[in-house]
Amino acid sequence: MTLQVELVSPERIVHSGEAEMVIARTEGGGDIAFMAGHVPFIGILAIHPLRIIAGDGSEEMMAVHSGFVEVSGDRVAILSDVCEVQDEIVVERAREARDRAREAAEADPADEKAERALRRALVRLEVAGVTE
Amino acid sequence: MPGAEERVLRRRIGSVQNTKKITRAMELIAATRVVRAQMRANEARPYAETLTSVIEDLAAGGAEVDHPLLREPESVDKVGFVVITSDRGLAGPYNANVIRAAERELMASRAGGVDYSLVLIGKKAGDYFRFRHYRIDALYTGMSDKPAYDDAREVADTVTEHFESGAVDKIVLVYTEFVSLGTQRVRVRRFLPLETTTTIAEAGAPERRAAFEFEPSPPAVLGALLPRYVEARLYAALLDSAASEHASRQRAMKAATDNAEELILKLTRRMNQARQDAITTEIMEIIGGAAALAEHKGSEEDLLLDELDWTEPFPALGKRTFFAHNPER
């Protein structure tokens, strides 16, 4: 049995397809993997890459910047303001954003906005496959 | 002078024709935009629907919490109005309808001794309320034509802040609902406080759902979810209004094009008649002139020579020769 995965942004359905397993990270709960038949679940997503593993074992990674995940039966719905697929990410821009956010975060450790921006940039880079 | 009226009419027809070209172009543009706006509204629907279903699940899971966005005010001293209009005119009664409904609501609440606060979207609403010296708390322009989710978030943030800080006790949304291409309806709806989760749930599917697991906890999920819900609702209203604007403009411009066509036809008929009249008059004048000439032909009094005899440039009076009658020449 496969999972029906839907990535929904406020403006449109970004991605819709089948998968074997979806791995996400929830706020305060750590990583959680969903397979078909999972207990109905609703969680807040952390700023973290989302991994969708297809039936043939291939893996797709997406940058999901907060949002929600709703699992019921064999359907996974991910609601997110911003979700980016690997090839949508501009590495150069993400790198710049990371450096900028890092500077701001270092200058003012209480700056939550900068810290979130930094985390977003890091997630983007991770999804894009940039390690340094 | 014959032909003067014709010239005036010809010029008017030209100008009406130009206007017709413009209105026709606007009609066609609006037509494609309606389709696109409708498509965007449809694309945005899954998000709002899933969000609503999550709230339903929460309600079914018994997560009734005391969230600021759900808190019913004890007394309403100040009502905030969010009015969605367009930036551009020439959209028929679209803006006027929304503005009228908003002003009526505002007057009604003022008559009840309730203060108001205005958050306006679209240049048209801004112009109207500013001209009448209403207090405007916020004005957003440049987003009503093709609203993006970020626009909705910006407005929702402002409105939510007004509400949560207690500056206003209730927020009413005035917008245009897109029913179909032919029908758009002005809606005045309560925006904040939100209906309690149970009432939101009742509006949706009534069947009881399976027990959900929540992470981190139902109140936390609800707390994170409700602001998104507010944004999604505002976004839906913006999209509906945009589709309505374009539909309304398309209709108005179609009517204008049809009117221009009719006017051109009428003016063309009048111009043809005027031209015919002018021709008739001219013919009459020529005939009249010819008849007059024929009558006076060869008169001694006629000092104007039809042709000059160069052999005798200055003939004595009474001895004139008319070469026109000389067949040998």
Same domain? For A24 and A56 the reply is yes
The residues of B whose Cβ lies within 8 A of any Cβ of A are 40, 43-44, 46-48, 50-51, 53-54, 57-58, 148-149, 152-153, 209-216, 220-221, 224-225, 228, 231-232, 235
Q: Say which CATH number the domain at A21 has.
A: 2.60.15.10
Smallest CA–CA distance from B58 into chain A, residue: A42
Q: Are strands B78-84 and A59-73 parallel, antiparallel or unpaired?
A: unpaired
> For A115, phi and psi rounded to 5 degrees?
-65, -40
* pLDDT of res. B33: 93
Mean pLDDT, rounded, for A23-46: 86
Residue B224 to residue A68, Cβ atoms within 8 A: yes
* pLDDT of res. B205: 45
Residue B216 to residue A29, Cβ atoms within 8 A: yes
pLDDT in tens, A72-99: 888 898 888 877 777 777 778 888 888 8
Nearest to B98 by CA among B184, B26, B36, B183: B184
Largest CA distance in chain B: 130
End-to-end CA distance of chain A: 38
- Digit-by-digit pLDDT tens for chain B (329 residues) are 557 888 899 999 999 999 999 999 999 999 999 999 999 998 888 888 888 888 877 776 665 666 778 777 888 889 999 999 999 888 889 999 999 999 999 999 999 889 999 999 999 999 999 999 999 999 999 888 889 888 999 999 999 998 888 888 889 999 999 998 888 999 998 888 877 655 655 554 444 455 778 877 778 888 888 888 899 989 999 999 999 999 999 999 999 999 999 999 999 999 999 999 999 999 999 999 888 887 766 555 556 666 666 677 666 665 555 555 555 54
Same domain? For A79 and A98 the reply is no
Residue A40 to residue B54, Cβ atoms within 8 A: no
Same domain? For A108 and A46 the reply is no
Residue B149 to residue A42, Cβ atoms within 8 A: no
Smallest CA–CA distance from B146 into chain A, residue: A11
Same domain? For A74 and A102 the reply is no
Say yes or no: A72 contacts chain B, CB-CB below 8 A.
Answer: yes
Residue A44 to residue B46, Cβ atoms within 8 A: no
* CA–CA gap between residue A61 and residue B178 (Å, rounded): 38
H, E, C per residue of A5-70: EEEECCCCEEEEEEECEEEEEECCCEEEEEECCEEEEEEEEEEEEEEEECCCCCEEEEEEEEEEEE
Q: String of b and e for B304-315 (b: at least 16 CB within 10 Å)?
A: eeeeeeeeeeee
Q: CA of B53, closest CA in chain A: separation in Å?
A: 9
A9 pLDDT tier (thresholds 50, 70, 90)? confident
Residue A12 to residue B209, Cβ atoms within 8 A: no
Under CATH, domain B20-249 is a member of which superfamily?
A: ATP synthase, F1 complex, gamma subunit (3.40.1380.10)
Residue A10 to residue B224, Cβ atoms within 8 A: no
Same domain? For A42 and A101 the reply is no
> For A67, phi and psi rounded to 5 degrees?
145, -160
Query: Residue A40: which of B152, B213, B220 has the nearest Cβ?
Result: B213
Say yes or no: A8 contacts chain B, CB-CB below 8 A.
Answer: yes
* A/B interface, count of CB pairs below 8 Å: 88
* pLDDT of res. B74: 81
Query: Residue A79: which of B40, B50, B57 has the nearest Cβ?
Result: B50
Nearest to B117 by CA among B84, B154, B78: B78
CB A43, CB A25: distance < 8 Å: no
Tell me the residue range of the domain where A116 lies. Answer: 89-128
Same domain? For A80 and A93 the reply is no
Rounded to two decimals, the pTM is 0.79
H, E, C per residue of chain B: CCCHHHHHHHHHHHHHHHHHHHHHHHHHHHHHHHHHHHHHHHHHHHHHHHHHHHHHHHHHCCCCCCCHHHCCCCCCCEEEEEEECCCCCCCCCHHHHHHHHHHHHHHHHHHCCCEEEEEEECHHHHHHHHHCCCCEEEEECCCCCCCCHHHHHHHHHHHHHHHHCCCCCEEEEEEEEECCCCCEEEEEEEEECCCCHHHHHHHCCCCCCCCCEEECCHHHHHHHHHHHHHHHHHHHHHHHHHHHHHHHHHHHHHHHHHHHHHHHHHHHHHHHHHHHHHHHHHHHHHHHHHHHHHHHCCCCCCCCCCCCCCCCCCCCCCCCCCHHHCCCC
Number of separate domains in chain A: 2
Residue numbers of A between 52 and 71 with CB closer than 8 Å to B? 68, 70
User: Which residue type, as a one-letter code, is found at position B159?
Assistant: V
| Between residues B100 and A123, the one the model is more confident about | B100
* pLDDT of res. B246: 94
Smallest CA–CA distance from B43 into chain A, residue: A12
Same domain? For A43 and A18 the reply is yes
CB B144, CB B87: distance < 8 Å: yes
Same domain? For A38 and A65 the reply is yes
Question: Is the pLDDT reported for residue A46 higher than 50?
Answer: yes
B62 φ/ψ sector (left φ>0, alpha ψ -120 to 50, else beta): left
DSSP states along A92-123: HHHHHHHHHHHHHHHH-TT-HHHHHHHHHHHH
ipTM here: 0.79
Q: Are strands A83-85 and A59-73 parallel, antiparallel or unpaired?
A: antiparallel
